[in-house]
């Protein structure tokens, strides 16, 4: 059974409990890494400069406490292999549906990989109600 590295666990700990619940369940069946949880001001503005985020601090879901977004990637990471990212998102969504049906989580999620423009495959955020 796959399990998280200490780095992934530390990043996941900065995320909303519902994101944690889905990730902690998904890791039992699928190996992936947590690339980012919460981003503070410096990290957010660095991501903005690098072009990996479209907004400055504090406007990203990654800037909230706890973070309302998580970035994850299949392990080992192959950025060219989009079908693996797609499979990971399908699995994430399936686990999320089960946990929601069980009343363990209440959040719905938005997947950056489903955005029509500028797909952000690792990015998953909680849908605003």
What's the min distance (Å) between Cβ of 103 and Zn ion? 27
Select from 61, 76, 77 the least CA-distant residue to 19. 61
What's the min distance (Å) between Cβ of 79 and Zn ion? 15
Q: Which of residues 48-77 bind Zn ion (CB under 5 A)?
A: 69, 71
Select from 122, 18, 118 the least CA-distant residue to 67. 18
The number of residues that bind Zn ion (CB under 5 A) is 3
Residue 30's Cβ-side half-sphere holds a number of Cα atoms within 13 Å equal to 22
Residue at shortest CB range from Zn ion: 123
Q: Which of residues 108-127 bind Zn ion (CB under 5 A)?
A: 123
What's the min distance (Å) between Cβ of 69 and Zn ion? 5
C-alpha to C-alpha distance for 123 and 113, rounded to whole angstroms? 7
Binding residues for Zn ion, rule: CB under 5 A, are 69, 71, 123
């Amino acid at each position: 059974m796959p399990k998280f590295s200490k780095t992934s666990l530390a990043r996941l700990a900065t995320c909303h409990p519902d994101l944690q619940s889905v990730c902690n369940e998904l890791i039992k069946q699928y190996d992936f890494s947590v690339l980012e949880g919460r981003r503070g001001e410096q990290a957010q503005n660095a991501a903005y400069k690098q072009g990996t985020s479209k907004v400055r601090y504090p406007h990203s879901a990654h800037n909230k406490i706890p973070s309302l977004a998580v970035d994850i990637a299949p392990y080992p990471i192959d950025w060219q292999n989009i079908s693996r990212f797609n499979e990971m998102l399908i699995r994430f969504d399936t686990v999320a549906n089960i946990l929601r049906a069980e009343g363990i989580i209440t959040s719905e999620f938005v997947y950056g990989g489903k955005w029509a423009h500028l797909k952000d495959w690792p990015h998953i955020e909680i849908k605003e109600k």
